[in-house]
Amino acid sequence: MAAPMSNVDEIRDRVILGEFGVRNVHTTDYPGNYPGYDDTWDLEKFKKNFRIDIVHSDENMLEFDMIGIDAAIANAFRRILLAEVPTMAIEKVFVYNNTSIIQDEILAHRLGLVPIKADPRLFEYRNPEDQEGTEIDTIQLQLKVKCTRNPRAPKDSSDPKELYLNHMVYSGDIKWLPIGNQADVFADAKIGPVHGDILLAQLRPGQELDISLISCIFINCKDHAKFSPVATASYRLLPEITLLQTIEGEQAERLKRCFSPGVIEIQNVNGRKVAKVVNSRLDTCSREVLRHDDLKSLVKLGRVRDHFIFSVESTGILPADVLVTEAINVLISKCQKFLTELDAAEMD
């Protein structure tokens, strides 16, 4: 069992989940609101307490803990991940021929949402006055597919997969057309759709698609959600479960069932079955335990206010860890710009 916290520490550091409400969700606009608690800004104290712990990392997923930060900064970081990390997507669709049953605008919308594997850090923003792109700011792709009958199809077959050729149009049919010296510069980049199995259209013999696609670098929040580099970016506060007294026997078994698997385990202590909090991180904060009259007074549910569990899922354009690094760079540039504006205002 954890040692009890003082009232001031609990108000400042914990969100408490009660039976009929949630306590300590407020914040303060200036320091000194709590007697005996010094929360004035101290850079050295912040450096000492702040840290980032990587929990899980692969090419498309990253889970990490951001500890010792204010909720406003954590949320700003999340919003940057969603909307302000530059990325590339199909911006213009030139339809030369579309004899499928899908309308041009519907097909263009589908194409625009296909993630394109191209590192935006290797390109520049296009000048708004330029009518045509160049090799440094534009990627050109092509979708050219025609459906025909399969001359080798069995005569008694009714399966479209056997009867027709190219009747299913996938994102893998989108091909990169290098501009200028792109073929040499990006020889190892493998530019094209991230996933080749996204179904775009179905054709029948005689129907065809002949489409030119232009991809540019943009920032999502200023243009379109298709430029968001993440499939999702979210955070939650670290759950905290405190057992106020020893819980054993049948009560321990019921307590275990109140939480997500892996949160509470039953241990054998001198022949007794005793409940122990093993991994509160797995808890979903359902508050199921508060429905049991004999258990709700034995458990305190809370969340640590300065411990944020981030989950970032990439669309595949860039690895998740690269996206987090780029988001940090964007946040740094924002802070530098703000300080520059402050200095300019003081000089005026």
pLDDT tens per residue across span 233-281:
999 999 999 999 999 889 999 999 999 999 999 998 888 899 999 999 9
More confidently predicted of 216 and 261: 261
State yes or no: pLDDT of 329 exceeds 90: yes
What's the chain's average pLDDT? 88
State yes or no: pLDDT of 17 exceeds 90: no
The amino acid that residue 232 corresponds to is: T
Tokens of 175: 């091909």
Q: pLDDT > 90: what percent of the chain? A: 56
Taking the C-alpha atoms of residue 267 and residue 289, their distance in angstroms, rounded to an integer, is 19
Q: What is the pLDDT of residue 320?
A: 94
Average pLDDT over residues 130-157: 89
- Residue keyed to tokens 């080749």: 196
State yes or no: pLDDT of 220 exceeds 70: no
Average pLDDT over residues 298-322: 93
**In the chain, what are the domains?**
7-83+233-244+298-310 (3.30.1360.10), 87-226 (2.170.120.12)
Of the candidates 283, 302, 307, the one whose C-alpha atom is nearest the C-alpha of residue 11 is 302
Taking the C-alpha atoms of residue 168 and residue 159, their distance in angstroms, rounded to an integer, is 13
The residues, any chain, with a CB within 8 Å of residue 149's CB and separated by 6 or more, are 163, 164, 165, 205
Taking the C-alpha atoms of residue 49 and residue 106, their distance in angstroms, rounded to an integer, is 51
Of the candidates 290, 260, 291, the one whose C-alpha atom is nearest the C-alpha of residue 277 is 260
Average pLDDT over residues 290-309: 91
What digits encode the pLDDT tens for the residues 76-121? Answer: 999 999 988 988 889 899 999 999 999 999 999 999 999 999 988 8
* Other Cβ atoms within 10 Å of 28 Cβ, number: 10
* 170 touches 110 (CB < 8 A): no
More confidently predicted of 142 and 59: 142
Sign, CA torsion 186/187/192/197: negative
Average pLDDT over residues 153-173: 92
User: What kind and span of H or E run contains 200?
Assistant: strand 199-202
State yes or no: pLDDT of 4 exceeds 60: no
With bands split at pLDDT 50, 70 and 90, how would you rate the model's confidence at 286?
A: confident
Q: pLDDT > 70: what percent of the chain? A: 93
- Residue keyed to tokens 């499939």: 231
Kindly report the backbone phi and psi dihedral angles of residue 58, in degrees, each rounded to the nearest multiple of 5, phi listed first: -140, -170
What is the C-alpha end-to-end distance of the chain, expressed in Å? 58
Q: In sequence order, what are the beta bridge partners of 138?
A: 216
User: What kind and span of H or E run contains 16?
Assistant: strand 14-17
Sign, CA torsion 268/274/275/276: negative
Sign, CA torsion 303/304/305/308: negative
